[in-house]
Structure 1
C-alpha cells in the first residue's frame, strides 16, 4: 500500500462517516418506559427507583442496592458508608477515571496508588500488600475494561488487615469472577449507567452490598443525611417529622432515569453477547499483527467487555502513540485513550504525587488506544475498524 493511499496523506479514508468509540442503544421500548413515567404522578423520587434497585440487586445476587444520580456520587456514598475520614489512606489504581480517586478526597482521605499488573492492567495485589500502613482504611479496585480485578487476593488482604473493599465496577456489569457475578462479592460495588456503559440511565450509578449497615448509611447519605425512620429518630414530633442527622448530599436518582434503566436491564445479556462477538472479530483480525498486543484475559475472570484496548509495540513502529491515534481519527475511527493515570493529573501533582510511582501504569498509558466497541456496531463498522488499524499500522511499521 502506497503512502498516497493513506487518509493522513490526503487519500480516501476507510470510512465516509465518523464512528464513535462508544454509544448508547435506545429503542422504542426504552422511550415508552420514560414516557410512562412522565405521565405518572412521580418524576423524581418514586416507586420506579425502588423497583430498579431491586432488579439490579436480584440480577447481581446482592441483598441491597442503592441508586444514585451518577457513578461518582455512588462512589462518594460508598466512601462515606465505609467511614473514610480525614487522613485515612485508601489504596487504589491510577489506571481509571478520576472519579475512582476523587471520592477518597471528598471524605478527606488520602489516595495511595498501587501499580497495575502489566498483563491485565488491573491493580496489582502484590503492590497493595507493600502499601498497607496503620492508616489504611479501604481498597478500591477497578475492574478495568470490564475484566474483574483479582478479587480473592484483594479480599484476603483486606480481611487480614480489617479493610473495606469498595469495588469500582463501572466497566463490569454482567461480568463474572470465578463463577460469581460482579456485584455480589465485595463489601460494596459501584456500577455506572453513563451512556457508553453496558446499560444507561442517561447519568446514574448504584451501589450493591450485602451489608445492612452500609445500605442504611447509603440511603440516608444520598438524601441530605435525612431520615424518617422512627427507629432512628432522636425525637418524634408527629407523622410529618424528619431529622437531618449528618451532612449528606442530594444524590438521588429520578424515576425517569430508573425507568430507562429497568428497560435497558432487560437487554443487558443481549448487549454483552453483541460485545463479545465484536471482540472475537477484533481478536481474529489482529491476531497476526505483531505491532500490537490484544487484550489479555485471565482464567476465571469473565469480562463483560466495556472497552477494547490495543497496546502498541512501539519498538516495531516508526512513530509513537500520538501519530497512530491521529491517523486513526483521520480514518474516521473514533479512538480514545483510557486512561491518563490519575496521579499524573495537574491537580494530583499539586498534591505531591510524583511521576514514577507507578511505572507499569505510566508505560501502559504511553502505548494504549481504545477502539470502538458498542452493541449497535454493524459488521461493516467492525471490519472498518480492523481495516483502519491494519492500514495505519502497515504504514508506520518498521
Structure 2
C-alpha cells in the first residue's frame, strides 16, 4: 500500500520520547514549554499554547476571542468539519464563504461581497476562520484589510501549513491574524502523534488560552482573586477543558521541528515532480499564489472528466494506492443540512469537490513509488 500520507519517525525522535518517558514529567511539564517556545521562535510569533489537537486549539481560540451566542463565525466550506464546528461549540452561528477555484482557499472577493451584504443586514461575523488548504496560505493581506474595514477577528486554520510561507515569512507569525492554529496529526508536516498549537502575538489571548486548556484553573499569584492562601491554593476562573499536551508528545514535536524545513523541501520536490509529469494528462494540477510557498500537506488534482472520479479512485485503491478526497464541503454534511444549508449555495467549493483527488505525498515517498502512482493514474484515465 502506498498511503496518501504518513509520519517519518527517526531515531532522534524515539530517543527524545524515551528520555521524556524516563524523566520526572510525562504529562504537561517543561518539555511542553520547550516545544511552545521552539515553534513560536521558528515561525516568528510571540506566544504559543500547545494542546491535544488542532480542534481543541480552534475551540479555545474562539473562546479567547469571546465568540458566543448571537455572534457568527464564517469559514471556508472546503475544509474538515472542525473549522466550522469550533463556532458551534461556542454557541455561535456558522456560515461559509466560497473558495477561489484556482487555489481552493477562501476567496477574498467572495468574502468582500458577503461582508458588504452582511453589513446591510446587520449579520457581520465576529470571527473569520481562514483555512490554508493543502498547505498554501490564503491571501492574508487582503483578508486582513477587510477585517479592519468590517471589524471581525481572524483565526488562521493552518493545520496543513506549518513550514509554509506567505510573503517570505513563515505561516504562524500572526502578522495578519489574531491567532494561528497548527495540527500535529501523523499525516501532517510534523507530528506529536496527536496534538495542536495556537499561536498569537497578543499576551492576553495567550493567557486566556492557557487557562482554557487546563480546566479554567490557575495558580498564578498575579491572577488569583485571593492571593493570601497557601501554596496549595488554586482558582477556577473560567469554564475550561482538559486540552493539555503531554511531555511525551512535546518531546516528539520538538525533535520533529528540527527537520521541518527538510520535510517541506522534500514535499516541494515531490510536488514539483508530480506537476511536471502530470502536465500532459487530462487533469488540473495545483495553482500557487506568487506570495505563497506551500508546505504541501496535500497534492490535490482535479480531474477534467467530472464523471470519472469514482472509477479512478476505485481503480487506484484496488492497486494499493491510497488516494483520498479532501474535502466533502462542510455545508453538505447531514448535520449542517439540518441547520439549513444545502447543495448549490457555494458552487465553487462544490465543483472543486466533484473533481478533486488527493494523490499520495509524504516525506519518505520514493520516486519509484511516485512513478507507480503516476502510471496507475495514467492507466485509469485511459
TM-score scaled by structure 1? Answer: 0.92
Q: Does 1:85 align with 2:85?
A: no
Instruction: Point out where structure 2 has 5 or more consecutive residues left out of the alignment.
Output: none
Asked if the contact 1:61–1:181 (Cα under 8 Å) also holds between the matched residues in 2, the reply is yes
Q: Distance in 2 between matches of 1:126 and 1:281?
A: 32
Give 2:293's aligned residue: 302
Give 1:233's aligned residue: 224
Asked if the contact 1:94–1:341 (Cα under 8 Å) also holds between the matched residues in 2, the reply is yes
Q: CA deviation at 1:164?
A: 0.8
Q: Distance in 1 between matches of 2:28 and 2:358?
A: 37
Q: Distance in 1 between matches of 2:108 and 2:235?
A: 42
Q: Distance in 2 between matches of 1:196 and 1:139?
A: 26
Q: Distance in 2 between matches of 1:281 and 1:126?
A: 32
Asked if the contact 2:73–2:92 (Cα under 8 Å) also holds between the matched residues in 1, the reply is yes
Give 1:5's aligned residue: none
Three-state SS of the structure 2 residue aligned to 1:249 is: coil
Three-state SS of the structure 2 residue aligned to 1:131 is: helix
Q: Distance in 2 between matches of 1:281 and 1:127?
A: 32
Q: Does 1:364 align with 2:355?
A: no
Q: Does 1:160 align with 2:175?
A: no
Instruction: Point out where structure 1 has 5 or more consecutive residues left out of the alignment.
Output: 1-17
Mark the structure with the bigger radius of gyration: 1
Three-state SS of the structure 2 residue aligned to 1:141 is: strand
Give 1:202's aligned residue: 193
Three-state SS of the structure 1 residue aligned to 2:342 is: coil
Q: CA deviation at 1:263?
A: 0.5
Three-state SS of the structure 2 residue aligned to 1:386 is: helix
Q: CA deviation at 1:324?
A: 1.1
Q: CA deviation at 1:320?
A: 2.5
Runs of 4+ more than 4 Å apart: none
Which whole-Å deviations, capped at 9, do the CAs of 1:1-23 have from their partners, x for residues lacking one? xxxxxxxxxxxxxxxxx111001
Asked if the contact 1:112–1:131 (Cα under 8 Å) also holds between the matched residues in 2, the reply is no
130, 136, 139: which is aligned to 1:147? 136
Give 1:392's aligned residue: 380
268, 274, 281: which is aligned to 1:282? 274
Three-state SS of the structure 1 residue aligned to 2:131 is: coil
Q: Does 1:324 align with 2:312?
A: yes
Three-state SS of the structure 2 residue aligned to 1:157 is: helix
Q: Distance in 1 between matches of 2:95 and 2:169?
A: 28
Which whole-Å deviations, capped at 9, do the CAs of 1:20-69 have from their partners, x for residues lacking one? 10010001111110000110000001100000000000000000000001
Give 1:373's aligned residue: 361
Q: Distance in 1 between matches of 2:169 and 2:13?
A: 29
Give 1:212's aligned residue: 203
Q: Distance in 2 between matches of 1:163 and 1:308?
A: 31
Give 2:238's aligned residue: 246
Asked if the contact 1:170–1:190 (Cα under 8 Å) also holds between the matched residues in 2, the reply is yes
Q: CA deviation at 1:130?
A: 2.7
Structural RMSD (CA)? 1.0
